Amino acid sequence: MIERDVLERVLGEAMARGGRFAEVFAEDVRTTGAVLDDGKVEDLSSGRDRGVGLRVVSGDTTGFAHTSDLSETGLLHAARTAAAAASKGGGGTVQVALDEQSAPAPNRVATDPGGVAKATKVELLRQADEAAREAETVVSQVMARYGDSRRQILVANSDGLLATDDQIKTSFSVACVAEGDVGLQTGHRSVGHTIGFELFDRYDVQELARDAARVAALKLEARPAPSGSMPVVIGPGSGGVLFHEACGHGLEADLVRKGASVFANRIGEQVATPLVTIIDDGTVPGEWGCFAVDDEGRPAQRNVLIEDGYLVDYMWDGLRADQEGRPSSGNGRRQTYRHLPMVRMTNTYLPGGQDDPADIIAGTENGVYVATLGGGQVNTATGDFVFGMTEAYLIENGEITAPIREGNLIGSGPDTLTRIDALGDDFAWGPPGMCGKDGQGVPVGDGVPTLRVTSLTIGGTAA
């Protein structure tokens, strides 16, 4: 996107006022989206966003400027603006020599979705719509979404780093509404990977639609969710969002350094049962949060955060790592070139254990089985969380029985980690997600096997 000699001159200008660090982050993003709602194409769009963010650090002050003008004149102006914001004086000329670095791409893209006709993408939406309506006659509305993106980035800094990455993502989702005597109920399924159009060699959109319709129809016969504390078994895949929210954010170094995490100053302590190991890994091939280099140019890494119940490390971006005199863990991420990087998760997961999932259910006399978790929120300072259960069932006498209507799962992240007493051997990745933090959203993945928490609070409506 930008010639090396231009980058070197821009970085030199950024450092000329006495800054101790300067960085150029260039980004070029192309997107395509399509939405079919109630049998009609409601949206079919393409977009492109291209620009540069310049960061200058001087002492404890960070100056930041961004521009969509990629000419040398525009870049030099942005560099001076960022430097002036960070500068406490100084002057002179600084020379920066860049050394190009590379990191292996975590996956190979077989078919660039940018080369696939829009008509082909819309046809997938129509197939999903028809399949959902044919599967369940009570389905009254279907919304199907298709999306793909190509994000190319370049990072250069005053330490001499020069790195690039090319990230292609493809996704598909179906939401169904079923109508009955109890009103309207919904079912939803989504898939997404950091791969190309070959996503649809792995997944059948008609099968996804039929499954979404099944869940919506099933809820028409569901009982109200119970209330109170009880054992909860969480199914493989989407339950990973629980750990993303309940403890993942609390293990991000910026929150730890600000004292806004319940896990601050606890390295080496036992924080979970010995069954629990939590890993954040940006190198998982094809997962939603994978990449070759993060948005500071550092290679993606596999970072063990909790091991056999003990807290062993946090996630780090470059700025926080430099302040601690340690390397970055490859967790510096930003939403766009208009944003500063911060510590963010990538693909966060709890690996599988050795228990048979059927035995976990059979060993739970009464409780709730959560097949799919929805959105949630957490207070990172206390670890308290609330999640929606979008597909859940009663467990009665060691068997999964009646479906229950949507309710909330309420608890504390640190407390939940100490109450996991069974871990299945059926690990699965959950659906693609977007993680929000301080107004920025980035793509993330998460996953878990079947697991049991001895006690969580269910916020339902049953007496």
In contact, 27 and 152? CB cutoff 8 Å: yes
DSSP string, 221-290: TPBPPP-EEEEEEE-TBTTHHHHIIIIIGGGBHHHHHTT--TTTT-TTSB-S-TT--EEEETTSTT-TT-
Q: Considering only CA atoms, which of 411, 414, 422, 424 is closest in space to residue 450?
A: 424
In contact, 403 and 219? CB cutoff 8 Å: yes
| In 136-195, alpha helices (H) | none
Domain ranges of the chain: 228-459
Distance CA 12, CA 93 (A): 7
Distance CA 194, CA 147 (A): 12
Q: Considering only CA atoms, which of 251, 248, 253, 249 is closest in space to residue 322?
A: 253
Residue with tokens 């982050």: 25
Q: Classify residue 343 as left (phi > 0), alpha (psi -120 to 50) or beta.
A: beta
- What φ, ψ does residue 244 adopt, rounded to 5°? -55, -50
Structure tokens at 55: 């960061």
For 18, 197, 282, 290, 441, the CA distances from 346, given in Å and listed in that order, are 34, 22, 5, 6, 12
Q: Which amino acid is at 287?
A: E
Tens-digit pLDDT string for the chain (463 aa): 899 999 999 999 999 988 999 999 999 999 999 999 989 999 999 999 999 999 999 988 899 999 999 999 999 999 999 998 887 544 444 455 667 777 888 888 999 999 999 999 999 999 999 999 999 999 999 999 999 999 999 999 999 999 999 999 999 999 999 998 878 999 999 999 999 999 999 999 999 999 999 999 999 999 989 999 999 999 999 888 888 888 899 999 999 999 999 999 999 999 999 999 999 999 999 999 999 999 999 999 999 999 999 999 999 999 999 989 999 999 999 999 999 999 999 999 999 999 999 999 999 999 999 999 987 788 888 889 998 999 999 999 999 999 998 789 999 999 999 999 999 999 999 999 999 999 999 999 999 999 999 999 998 765 4
| Model pTM score | 0.94
What end-to-end distance do the CA atoms of the chain give, in Å?
62
* Chain Cα centroid distance, residue 434: 5
pLDDT at 97: 60
Identify any residues that bridge with 177 across adjacent strands, giving them in sequence order. Answer: 141, 186
